[in-house]
């Protein structure tokens, strides 16, 4: 349904703590997922991706977990820093080609 009028869910964490951002997807046929970071006034920035034949993938300070059984994706950020403050979106590749469908997003606020 439409999300008009809804506010982004917000996650507030203390600097240095770990952050976990969750995402539910709807298309069980999706086989590729990406997490993006969007800072205010900018376009989405690629963080990490995962294919459906994997359960976990790690990058620098970030880990993505995929649970296909419940169609759930999570992004873990270790030792969260003020520069991590942004909106985070999950996206799934759908419909063939390179078409992406974005989730609703989560606002991450890092408190000093």
Partner 1 sequence: GAVVSQHPSWVICKSGTSVKIECRSLDFQATTMFWYRQFPKQSLMLMATSNEGSKATYEQGVEKDKFLINHASLTLSTLTVTSAHPEDSSFYICSASGGQGSWNQPQHFGDGTRLSIL
40 DSSP β-pair partners: none
Q: Which two tokens stand for residue 72?
A: 């759930």
For residue 47, the minimal CB distance to partner 1 (Å) is 11
CB 30 within 8 A of CB 45: no
3-class state of residue 35 by DSSP:
strand
- The smaller minimum CB distance to partner 1, of residues 24 and 112, is found at 24
- The smaller minimum CB distance to partner 1, of residues 8 and 65, is found at 8
Continuous segment of H or E residues that includes residue 3: none
- The smaller minimum CB distance to partner 1, of residues 19 and 106, is found at 106
Distance, CA of 30 to chain centre: 15
Q: What is the contact surface with partner 1 in residues (CB under 8 A)?
A: 3-4, 6-8, 32, 34, 41-46, 49, 89, 93, 97-105
For residue 36, the minimal CB distance to partner 1 (Å) is 8
Tokens 């294919």 correspond to what residue? 51
For residue 55, the minimal CB distance to partner 1 (Å) is 17
């Amino acid at each position: 349904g439409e999300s008009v009028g809804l506010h982004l869910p917000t996650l507030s964490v203390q600097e240095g703590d770990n952050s976990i951002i969750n995402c539910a997807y709807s298309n069980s046929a999706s086989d590729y997922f990406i997490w993006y970071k969007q800072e205010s006034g900018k376009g989405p920035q690629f963080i990490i991706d995962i294919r459906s034949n994997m359960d976990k993938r790690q990058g620098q300070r970030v880990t993505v977990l995929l649970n296909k059984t419940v169609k759930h994706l999570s992004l873990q950020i270790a030792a969260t820093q003020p520069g991590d403050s942004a909106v985070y979106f999950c996206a799934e590749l759908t419909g063939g080609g390179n078409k992406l469908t974005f989730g609703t997003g989560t606002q991450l606020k890092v408190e000093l």
